[in-house]
Amino acid sequence: MITARYHREIPQRYRLEAAKCSSCGHVSFPPRLVCPQCKARKFEAVNLSDEGTIVTFTVVRVASDKFSKETPFGVGIVELNDGVRVTAQIADVHPDELKVGQKVKLVFRRVQEDGKAGILCYGYKAVLA
């Protein structure tokens, strides 16, 4: 059962809530307790841009059991317009059409499920813009 673990990440996965360091401005996603850049411990909440660019990607053809019915699927590192990078599946596209540098936008999708009877797990995925 992953309910508590899942519930904890909802603000990040659903709304891209991040933490901006009050002293150096570095944006951490997900939020942290210590700024990785300047070690300060004060932050303000910010929402990340939902648009960005593919920095690199792969097409997963052999997945863990949980994702094995969805292969092949694209996964990329996406640099959002505010400079923060996230790893995201790239949906609704034939994997052969993916290229580094493509513009994408993050949408709300079902990402996985906790077995047949467990909770459904949602979050962001990228689609070509």
Partner 1 sequence: MVGIVGYGAYLPKYRIKAEVIAQQWGADPAAITRGLQLFEKTVPGQDEDTITISVAAARSALKRARINPKDIGAVYIGSESHPYAVKPSGTILIDALGIGPHVHVASYEFACKAGSEAMYVAYSHVKSGEMKYALGIGADTSQGAPGDALEYSASAGGAAFIMGSERVVAEILFTHSYTSDTPDFWRREGESYPRHGGRFTGDPAYFKHIMGAAQALLEKSKMKPEDFAYAVFHMPNGKFPQEVGKRLGFTKQQLEVGWVVPWMGNTYSGSSPTGLAGILDVAKPNDLIFMVSFGSGAGSDGFVYRVTDEITNVQDRAPKLREMLDTNKIHLNYGEYAKFRRKIKLND
Partner 2 sequence: MRDVVVIGAGMTKFGELWEKSIKDIFVEAALKAIDDAGVDHIDSMYVGAMSSGLFVGQEHLGAVMADYLGVTPIPATRVESACASGGASFRQAYLEVASGASEIVLAGGVEKMTDGADVTEALATAADQEYEVYQGITFPGLYAMIARAHMERYGTTREQLAAVAVKNHRNGAKNPNAQFRSEVTAEQVMKSTMVADPLRLLDCSPVSDGAAAVIVASMEVAKKLKKNPIRVIASSQASDTIALHSRRDITTLDSVVRAAQKAYKLADKKPSDINLVEVHDCFTIAEITATEDLGFFEKGTGGEAAEKGWTSIECKRIPVNTSGGLKSKGHPVGATGVAQIIELYEQLNGKAGARQVEGARIGMAQNMGGSGASCVIHILEAI
Residues near partner 2 (CB under 8 A) are: 5, 9, 12-13, 29-30, 36, 55-67, 70, 73, 75-77, 85-89, 95, 100, 111-112, 121, 123, 125
The answer for residues whose C-beta is within 8 angstroms of residue 12's C-beta and 6 or more apart is: 18, 29, 30, 31
Query: What is the distance, to the nearest Å, from the Cα of residue 122 to the centroid of all Cα atoms in its chain?
Result: 11
In the bound state with partner 1, the residue whose beta carbon lies nearer, of 94 and 99, is 94
3-class DSSP assignment, residue 38: coil
Query: Binding string, 30-69, against partner 1, x = CB under 8 A?
Result: ---------------------------------------x
Interaction between residue 129 and Zn ion (CB under 5 A): no
The alpha carbon dihedral of 125, 126, 127, 129 has a sign of: positive
CB 31 within 8 A of CB 13: no
In the bound state with Zn ion, the residue whose beta carbon lies nearer, of 42 and 110, is 42
In the bound state with partner 1, the residue whose beta carbon lies nearer, of 52 and 123, is 123
